[in-house]
Chain A
Amino acid sequence: MQGRDPHRTGAARLALTFLRVGVMNEVQYRVNFFIQLVQSLLTIATGLTALALVFSQTDDLGGWTRPQLLAVMGVFTIVGGMIRSVIQPNMQRVVEDVREGRLDFALTKPADAQVLVSVRDVRLWQLTDVGVGLIVLVIALIQIGDGVGWQAIVAFVGILAIGLVAIYCFWLMLASASFWLVRMNEVQELFDGVYRAGQYPVGIYPGWLKYGLTFLVPLAFAVTVPSEAVTGRLTWQAVTVAGATTVVLLALSRWFWQRGLRRYGGASS
């Protein structure tokens, strides 16, 4: 157990244990699977309709062809499912716990508090979006028809992971803001609203919005750049910027979280 970096191995083990217990818990509520599946299918149907409308007017949107945009939508759905299954439930719980003073219990444990609050919850059935998104992505790739090499798949998975970490950091900063603001009930709606913008490649938006969606809310790294990877549009520049930004975000969000912790007084009983 005492590896070279006991702190890190501890974090991974902790995450796996929580994941296992969380999944066991979710499996009890099988009806949620069907509800989520219907929800996923409805969402993708709405998205496809919008896409069809766009391409009834034009053949090209900001340099992206129809099947390429379909791929973006697939990636968008996959990433959304992942965010809603593991990132969002944990971060929302932080917001609630701060308000109700329940964070006490996470802080009196001999584990890194940030790791602990980031792995406590999992919404298994939100992963239906990942399944539906994958299907859409595969269909899009078949339509593109160039064939996808294993390098592209490796790049896609790698970039996707980087993008998810970036989104996690962004959410952690949002959640940490609750140490100062206390009431942040609407923060999830705010995030959902902004996330919806990721349905299209950020390149199609005007400059200020493009940069906002890249560096302020790191949507570009979570959706657009992975989509570039799988549609053969990836540049080394994009990878470098995504990696560097994510490293900066990791440090920044941890700093912000720890500043917040110091302010935490817990709701009095």
Chain B
Amino acid sequence: MKRILYIFGVIGVLALLQWGLTAVLLDGPVRQGPYYYQILVLAGINIILAVSLNLTNGIAGQFSIGHAGFFAVGAYVAASVSYYGGSAIRAAVSFIPPMGQDAVVLLIALAAAALATALAGLIVGIPSLRLRGDYLAIVTLGFGEIIRVLILNIDAVGGARGFSGIPKLSNFFWVYLMAVATVVTVWNLVRSTYGRAFLAIRENEIAAQAMGIDVTRHKVLAFVIGSMFAGMAGCLFGHYTMYLHTNSFTFVKSFEIIIMIAIGGLGSIEGAVLGAVLLTVLPEAFRGFDSYRMIIYSLALILIMIYRPQGILGQKSLFGKKRRKSATIDAGPTGAKSVAAETGVAGKQ
């Protein structure tokens, strides 16, 4: 019961924020508002990407460098659903108001993106995760490139022209709802038996196997869940920018996400969130340096790595100790608590 209340609480807070942000930033008095809004939304999408990659790379310890590939699959599948099937879906639910219809189309697109990317993750993961070592890195890098070239050759999604005419269905509310959902899911997963297994695999695969953990199954599970969230991020991305082009999904994007989690602290969820925000905001903040922008930006990243090689937060969790206790002692409403922590209304029961 409490959990449901918290879920509605989060939705309510985000909806309120969406309304407030629209009033202040988009239609309101802040003259650079739309620019800040755009950065805010892109940061949210990067949070989903970083936290989901963190599950594979940081928590389960498998080095995937093809996250942009899954991001692309989700973006294009979802965009196709709403572009080609949008009117049919709207007709089917014509009894609800247009805003509700938008939500239905977006949710169906989200589901399609999640399914498609989970499937893609399964196909890539099963053969490559049976092996130990660098194979996943090589396979995922290849996968990312294959997906990109494949999209370039599919005319129905625009090919090299780019996919334009995607309806604008996503906004701050949807992006951050998804970001909260991603963080909560990963958070709870890490504190479940599956999460313990992921950590055990990361620390020592042979030891984990000796303890009776089905190593391949757990690795694939982490990988598929991570990919699925990347796909959903893709859906929100495409429906926000209204235009997709494969230049946004090169391996450079994959590395950007890896940098986010490395800067934040590999394995730390808050670190991934922090890294995602930092890597979205910094290049924009450095625009004042004109042509030296990317040099300063790279320099900043190098400096962080010199002073904090383990990432800004390391493997520490900001609320770590309290969490861990609650997870082990009362196995009950950890989900609800995490939601509370995210929205800043931490329960003082």
Partners in one complex: no
Q: Which residues on A are within 8 Å of B, measured CB to CB?
A: none
